[in-house]
Amino acid sequence: MDEMQNTPTSMPLIGDKAPAFTAVTTQGPINFPEDYKGKWVILFSHPADFTPVCTTEFMTFASMADEFRALNTELVGLSIDSLYAHIAWLRKIGELEWNGMKNVEVKFPVIEDIKMDVARKYGMVQSQSSTQAVRAVFIIDPNAVVRTILFYPASTGRNFDEIKRVVLALQKADKEQIATPANWRPGQDVIIPTPGSCGTAKERMESKDENQYCLDWFLCFRKEKK
| Span 35-67, pLDDT tens digits | 999 999 999 999 999 999 999 999 999 999 999
CATH code of the region 3-159: 3.40.30.10
DSSP state of 181: -
Q: Which residues are annotated as a binding site for substrate?
A: 135
CATH classification (class only), 177-226: alpha beta
Helix residue spans in the chain (DSSP H): 3-6, 52-69, 83-93, 117-121, 160-176, 198-206
- In the annotation, is 220 catalytic? no
- Binding-site entries: 135
Indicate if the pLDDT at residue 7 is higher than 60: no
Q: Looking at 54, 198, 214, 220, which residue is catalytic?
A: 54
pTM: 0.92
Q: What's the first-to-final CA gap in the chain, in angstroms?
A: 60
pLDDT band at 179 (very low <50, low <70, confident <90, very high): very high
Domain boundaries, the chain: 3-159, 177-226
